[in-house]
Amino acid sequence: MNLIAAVSNNWGIGLRGELLFSIPEDMRHFKTLTQNKVVVMGHSTFKSLPNSKALKNRVNIVLSHNINLQIDNAMVYNSVEQLLSAVSGFSSEDIFIIGGQAVYEQLINYCEFAYITKVNTRQDADRYFPKIEEMSNWKIQCRSSEKSYNDLTYTFVTYINDNVLKPANSFKSDQS
């Protein structure tokens, strides 16, 4: 599985239910990586999507404690165990965790890659991405050159986890 997020220098990702950044190239990067893939998110992240609707051309999965929650064009699971079982039929490289904070925290150890847009600014935030640079199992695999949009500078950084947890019912093999 993969993680994808845009973060500030202090690893902030959101404030009052909104993303911290709206950078067109980052949005294109997100769309390119997740198009025709599986996106996994929490209910608050789902509600923050445009018009609170499922993302087009993706399998949308929402992780929520609300056992009565039903969402058009999305599958809802109430535990990490249910979620991992449900996505076991997909190739792990086709699954993207897109937020928010609690979902990232619960699933980070099951992910092999993290696609992070690091925005060179310190923003007020009330939601944060785990500080993977402080985790010994996460290493930078590659980094883009510095880019800019308006008054922001940013880089695309790909991290790799050299100690991925495998769920009990492991993901579909890429060879199958």
Helix (H, G, I), strand (E, B) or coil at 50: helix
Tell me if the pTM is above 0.95: no
pLDDT, residue 175, reads 44
Would you list the DSSP string of 81-138? HHHHHHHTTSBGGGEEEEE-HHHHHHHGGG-SEEEEEEESS----SEE---GGGSTTE
**Per-residue tens of pLDDT for the chain, all 176 residues:** 999 999 999 999 999 999 999 999 999 999 999 999 999 999 999 999 989 999 999 999 999 999 999 999 999 999 999 999 999 999 999 999 999 999 999 999 999 999 999 999 998 999 999 999 999 999 999 999 999 999 999 999 999 999 898 876 566 655 44
**Which run of H or E residues covers position 147?**
strand 147-149
> What's the Rg (C-alpha) of the chain?
16
| Domains observed in the chain | 2-161 (3.40.430.10)
Q: Do 156 and 140 contact (CB within 8 A), yes or no?
A: no
What local confidence, expressed as pLDDT, does residue 82 receive? 95
- Give the per-residue pLDDT at 70: 96
